[in-house]
Structure 1
Amino acid sequence: MAKTKAVSGKRKKFSLFDAINYIVFIIITLIILVPIWKVVVDSLNAVGVYQFRLWPSQFTLDGYRVIFGEQGLFRPLINSFVTTIVGTLFGLILCTLGGYVLIQFDMPGRNLMAYFLLFTMIFSGGMIPEYLVMRRLGLLNSMWILVIKHGINVSNIVLMRNFFEGIPGSLFEAAKIDGCSPMRIFLKIVLPLSKAALASIGLMFAVGVWNDYSTVQIYITDPNQVNFQYKLRVMIMDGDTPPTQYPVSQTTLYNAGIIAAILPFLILYPFLQKYFVKGVNIGAVKE
């Protein structure tokens, strides 16, 4: 009996701060989830009038049938999957190699290279120089421009460098004593310990490549090279295939298009969540 009282006495009391904290986070969660839920409901609602409902008044899947049944979206969808996968792998290769180079403290010119990269985060050449570079590289009217353009991301290189700096230095020293080359250390020690960083930064690369329609709008005119986001936007908003020809309201089609655009990452995120949560604290813990 005395032991039970001692255990109960050690229980944390529910304070006023805890109550306010719960209320604030519930409000923030609702602010995030309510708009998403409204888009889902509107995509399943046959009534095209703007309204707020917790569930569809007239349930329909016509919006999704129109989008997934449109043959003109098949080729752009394949292009998006290819560029997203290749662009993510390409970005991770450059990002990890760049971050690994920046932690080589005995490398001549390391600080100069780091300052040069940081300079590009603040200043850029602008759209016209970028267009001229892409033209000289022969990337106009090519879907591979999405891969090349998103391949170098200085902020991700900095994040990866910070994560690598959190790896205990004793591991590097032990590997050097065993005769490992820098590349062998990178492949056998650094990468296996960086799964959380690779997953979180890889997700950032994938989202950036998948959602990029402005680059396609500027650099690509060949309809066979456009991606899914651009083609979907043209289909719904710019009248490439007038929505009036479909047995579905414009509002329903808009919202179904939003869900279709984010659906791959809604499916993918639960599998990467445990790595993404760890990757949020990249470089926060040092030896």
Structure 2
Amino acid sequence: MVKDRSIGGRLFDTFNYIFLGAFALVTFLPFLYVVTSSFSLTPTLFPREFNLDAYIYIFSAPTFTRSLLISIYITVFGTAIQLLLTVLMGYSLSYKHLPGRRLILLGVLFTMVFSGGMIPTYFVVKSVGIMNTLWALMLPSAISAFYLIILKNFFQAIPDELKEAAKIDGCHEVGILFRIILPLSLPALAAFGLFYSVGIWNQYFSAILYITDSSKYPVQVLLRQVIILSQGSIGDSTEIETVPAYAKSIKMAVIVVATLPIMVVYPFLQKHFAKGVLIGSVKG
């Protein structure tokens, strides 16, 4: 029979509950303020009236709707491209007999410490001819060295007997990858897929550097413009009238709309995080 905990232990648990509850409340209040302010013409934590004018305004703007669709497009296809390239390279490097494997791994590790920098990357993007295209928002960061190393370790942890059995049955390397390795790697793919998608969805600096056509701006660039500018218009001033008197509510509504897609996807993939990331971060 389990003995009753001491008074000190129960007091310690009570203190932890109170402290963590207060901390959670403090972190939740700013988000609650943003949401409630987006539904009120007067930004406040507890609005007296419920109003949808801010949402009607931003969704009636062709600039915002177009930017939102662009962000969804580059997030979906960019994540698919990044996952595919990371899987192909990680699976290849998981073979210890791969010629030049050690040199390639050293090159990957080198990029985790040193990078080319903003200006060289800009000239690379320009030289390959993807400036002012959506490819510039997906390809330059197509493979994360950190995620690649973890996924490579994940593949190495899969028993070689499975691969050998598949080869005996006449399965080639591509078949082994897509029929055996990937189904066993769904937790890792789900975790890194979410990491990649969040990175693409939240990027705005790359769009500022590589995109000069405002009609190709993702929603985060538009969000940046709305927040920074106290006056003006959403996006291109030639496409929509100036921001009305409830500009603060519009800013809050844009933040909610820009954050909502990731918040909706996150709960479905949260259970895969610990298993998907930690399983490949132990072995080298």
Q: Return the TM-score normalized by structure 1.
A: 0.85
1:251 paired residue number: 248
1:223 paired residue number: 214
Q: Residues 167 and 63 of structure 1: is their aligned pair in 2 closer, same or farther, counting only changes over 3 Å?
A: same
CA displacement 1:55-78 (0-9 Å, x = unmatched): 323322222111112122222222
Q: Residues 56 and 136 of structure 1: is their aligned pair in 2 closer, same or farther, counting only changes over 3 Å?
A: same
1:274 paired residue number: 271
Q: Contact (CA 8 Å) 2:63, 2:215: kept in 1 or not? A: no
1:209 paired residue number: 200
Q: Contact (CA 8 Å) 2:130, 2:136: kept in 1 or not? A: yes
Deviation at 1:192, TM superposition (A): 0.3
CA displacement 1:9-43 (0-9 Å, x = unmatched): 24774834544443443344334322211211222
Letter in 2 for 1:72: T
CA distance in 1, matches of 2:160, 2:147: 22
CA displacement 1:178-212 (0-9 Å, x = unmatched): 34332221111110011111111111111111111
Is 2:116 aligned against 1:125? Answer: yes
1:43 paired residue number: 38
Is 2:146 aligned against 1:155? Answer: yes
Of all paired residues, the percent bearing the same amino acid is: 40
Q: Contact (CA 8 Å) 1:102, 1:161: kept in 2 or not? A: yes
Q: Return the TM-score normalized by structure 2.
A: 0.86
CA displacement 1:133-190 (0-9 Å, x = unmatched): 0111111111211111231211111221232233233323333443433222111111
Aligned-residue RMSD, C-alpha: 2.5
Q: Contact (CA 8 Å) 1:166, 1:285: kept in 2 or not? A: no
- The 3-state SS of whatever aligns with 2:50 is coil
Q: Contact (CA 8 Å) 1:117, 1:154: kept in 2 or not? A: yes
1:234 paired residue number: 225
Deviation at 1:266, TM superposition (A): 1.8
Number of matched pairs? 274
Letter in 2 for 1:26: G
Within a 5 Å distance, the mapping from 1:77-88 to structure 2 comes to 77-88=68-79
